[in-house]
Structure 1
Amino acid sequence: MTLRPPPLIAAAVIALLAVPCAIWLGLMLGSSGWGWTSPDIVWLIRVPRVMAAFGTGAALALGGALIQIVTRNPLSDPHVLGVTSGASVGALIALMWLPAFALAAELGATIGALLSTSLVFALAWRGMGRGLLPGAQTGTVVVLLVGVMIGAACGAAVSFMLAIANDQQLRNIIFWLLGDLNGVTHWWPVWAGVGMASLMAWPHARELDLMSRGDGWAWTLGVPVAKRRRVALLASCVCVGAAVATAGSIGFVGLVAPHMVRLLGLRSAQWLLPFSALLGGVFLVLADAVARTVIAPSQLPVGVVSAAVGVPVFLVLLLRRRAGQ
């Protein structure tokens, strides 16, 4: 008989090894070469970029885990459900029309994420409820279709803003929409967003676990379902808004990281949320290191690398879920 370590110990060991290794690789790898090339390059460019990448990955992973718990849908992701697209629209509106306002992008992205999330829930709520009935068709497809529709509407709004932008704004907007960490200096807002969302959601982890089994089940055990759902969604929107404002539209981190944690055996929200944030940060730091070096001295947008990993993972999960029905 093979003895396996408990899931929590295994996840803690992996996190303790992966986090410093990813940060070290992020600091050593760059488009200018390997190693400690110059103190100015390391401290003024690589350190803020690694901090921003880790915080953005943690925010997207935490937001994705919260959305998956609330929707009871393991295929949910801020990008797939159109939340990231809504945040992008809000951030672009703030940047184009309120450029001098402090934290305009962060506030605009959070409001955009909240509005798009509210639309998804309002339009897909009946389909989600059907998944709770014995023998009824799951609401997964309904939620995904509504998310795609919201994302398409937000894409049209982004296209309109691109059409009216001047030449100076156009290139920056395109790279920002692809998800780009090049030139990031203000990394603290996304870390503040992760901290705020964690304080909002993590103390209620046990109640979130009960909600993941069904609203009726949680309600009979005394959980204020509507209140907890609103708080969890607001926390997710804070995460996604801060991430989009920092690095633009980066997809599939919120899908990959929580599933990595579940593969380790951690399904309780008490441990799923913090370990998803840690592994999401590791994932995006490594993805950004690849984006900086794969075609050096040029750089790829990090969103291209995350999508290259996330799309196959999403398709595999979708096919496995359909095969299990």
Structure 2
Amino acid sequence: MTASLRRLRPRVITAAALSLCLLASLVTAIALGAVPIAFGDILAALIGTPLDGFSGDIVRAIRLPRALLAAGVGAVLAVCGAYLQGMFRNPLADPSLIGVTAGASVGASAAIVLGGGVLGAVGDLSLVSLGAFAGGLVAVWLVYRVATGINGTSVATMLLMGIAVTALAASLTGLMDYFADNESLRRMSLWRMGGLDGATGARAVVMLAVLALLLISMMRVSRGLNTLLLGESQARHLGVDVERLKNLLIVLVALGVGVSVAVAGSIGFVGLVVPHMIRLCVGPDHRALVPLSALGGASLLLLADTFARTIMAPTELPVGLVTALIGAPFFVFLLARHRELIR
């Protein structure tokens, strides 16, 4: 019993710290901006109390949807990173490994170049977002088709095919960059840097629904991922349907990353650094790793987006650049400090 409590203690402490960090990040994201808003006014706006000026409208129509979208995208990317790291049995795996981000970039670039100045929207999603989602799905389908044979899905082949698809996608986007006009080229460049300036309540709801689906699936895949850490052969001997598990993980990651890229552009590093940081704190048990990664990813992207909006206000920095600027040095610090734990 004492040993069990000792193992549980780091998880409880980490969960409490990340929960407080998420709450503080959410309040900070809503409070800070071109028009600072007091905490009391935020609460009043959220419960519908009329306020002087435009503070209530700013909170409800602009900052709250953006904050919820940032939290949803960050959490989804972190959970997808944790799933892929478990499937590849490599703590340095990233959602971009299966080509979904690169494929989405091709789809978005094609929508911008071919649509020109007549781009419209379907529902709440622009044609650029729909093109990004379609491109990501096509890339994952190609990777999956090549990696799946009569003996099942090969993780090694999937990794190599992901590299090939990413290289092909880079060539296609480079060609579109070369032939695009100046306006289209700028739009493509900004989209690839990631951004949450197009946040709406509907997009936030879609993102949170995808996050809920991923977290619900955690109850089905966590045990299998824990067993898979021993190796595929051992997992099969212990009763895990490895092929079904891998297929489910591929579908979940493709859906999560595809929707994230469609609504927020290309935002890197969250799916790599957050699960790795959480693993160093609580260990490799996916029953704790996945939900804690969701908390960490949501907090990180909320803080990064707040920084991007305020550091050069009223100009906004692309949030994808900020996540790399914040995450890369911290990740290097963690690797240098805990290098013996990842050998």
Q: How does 1:1-325 map to 2 (within 5 A)?
A: 6-30=9-33, 32-36=34-38, 38-79=55-96, 82-93=99-110, 100-101=121-122, 104-105=130-131, 107-112=133-138, 114-115=140-141, 117-118=143-144, 128=156, 143=159, 149-165=164-180, 169-185=184-200, 186-313=203-330, 315=332
C-alpha distance in 2, partners of 1:211/1:324?
Answer: 17
- Residues 112-131 of structure 1 show CA distances to partners (whole Å, capped at 9, x for unaligned) of 45236538957xx87949xx
- Residues 259-305 of structure 1 show CA distances to partners (whole Å, capped at 9, x for unaligned) of 22112214211111111111101100000011111112211000011
Task: For 2:12, give the aligned amino acid.
Answer: I
For the residue of structure 2 that corresponds to 1:6, the secondary structure is: helix
Q: Which runs of 5+ in 2 are unaligned?
A: 39-53
C-alpha distance in 2, partners of 1:250/1:60?
Answer: 9
Q: Which runs of 5+ in 1 are unaligned?
A: 130-141
Instruction: Work out whether residues 197 and 238 of structure 1, in 8 Å CA contact, stay in contact via their aligned partners in 2.
Output: no
TM-aligned CA distance change 1:324 to 1:236, over 3 Å: closer
Larger RCO: 1 or 2 (CA < 8 Å, sep 6+) = 1
Q: CA deviation at 1:89?
A: 2.2
Q: Percent identity?
A: 36
User: TM-score, length-normalised on structure 1?
Assistant: 0.81
TM-aligned CA distance change 1:94 to 1:230, over 3 Å: farther
C-alpha distance in 2, partners of 1:193/1:294?
Answer: 30
C-alpha distance in 1, partners of 2:180/2:339?
Answer: 42
Q: CA deviation at 1:164?
A: 4.6
For the residue of structure 2 that corresponds to 1:261, the secondary structure is: helix
Provide the alpha-carbon RMSD of the alignment.
3.2
Instruction: Work out whether residues 87 and 240 of structure 1, in 8 Å CA contact, stay in contact via their aligned partners in 2.
Output: no
Give the aligned partner of residue 43 of structure 2: none
- Residues 60-89 of structure 1 show CA distances to partners (whole Å, capped at 9, x for unaligned) of 101111110000010011246643222322
Count of residue pairs brought into register by the alignment: 307
Task: For 1:34, give the aligned amino acid.
Answer: P
For the residue of structure 1 that corresponds to 2:192, the secondary structure is: helix
User: TM-score, length-normalised on structure 2?
Assistant: 0.78
- Residues 150-203 of structure 1 show CA distances to partners (whole Å, capped at 9, x for unaligned) of 433222222333445555544333211110111321222222222223333432
Instruction: Work out whether residues 82 and 271 of structure 2, in 8 Å CA contact, stay in contact via their aligned partners in 1.
Output: yes
C-alpha distance in 2, partners of 1:70/1:239?
Answer: 16
For the residue of structure 2 that corresponds to 1:183, the secondary structure is: coil
Task: For 1:12, give the aligned amino acid.
Answer: A
C-alpha distance in 2, partners of 1:25/1:12?
Answer: 20
C-alpha distance in 2, partners of 1:239/1:114?
Answer: 12
Task: For 1:248, give the aligned amino acid.
Answer: G
TM-aligned CA distance change 1:117 to 1:198, over 3 Å: farther
